[in-house]
Amino acid sequence: MSVPYLREAVKDGDSEKLIRFVRLHLGDGNEKVGRKEIDKSWTEALKILLHDQEPARDFIEQTIELPIKNWGRELLFPNQ
């Protein structure tokens, strides 16, 4: 697959061609292997995003609308 092929896919909005390229590239020509590599990458990214950290309570409280503030607080912080 060539750069013009990828540019054409972008121009045409053909996400399937782009996804296939990524799968083939990551899987050294094997789409199944590429799919597994992508899945592993997403899993690792989620582990980082969901790392055990204290929630940003001030931010969460500021984003909860006033009429549902108490309801939202009970859902987010049930032990407080």
Residues 57 and 23 in one domain: no
Split into its structural domains, the chain has a count of 2
Residue 80: its pLDDT value, please? 57
Residue 69: its pLDDT value, please? 47
Residue 12: its pLDDT value, please? 92
- Using an 8 Å Cβ cutoff, are 41 and 23 in contact? no
- Using an 8 Å Cβ cutoff, are 8 and 15 in contact? no
Residues 39 and 15 in one domain: yes
Counting as low any pLDDT under 50, the low residues of the chain are: 66-69
Matching residue, tokens 């032990």 = 79
Residues 44 and 60 in one domain: no
φ/ψ (deg, to 5) at 68: -110, 20
C-alpha–C-alpha distance, residues 7 and 5, integer Å: 6
Residues 10 and 43 in one domain: yes
Domain that holds residue 41: 3-49
- Using an 8 Å Cβ cutoff, are 38 and 23 in contact? yes
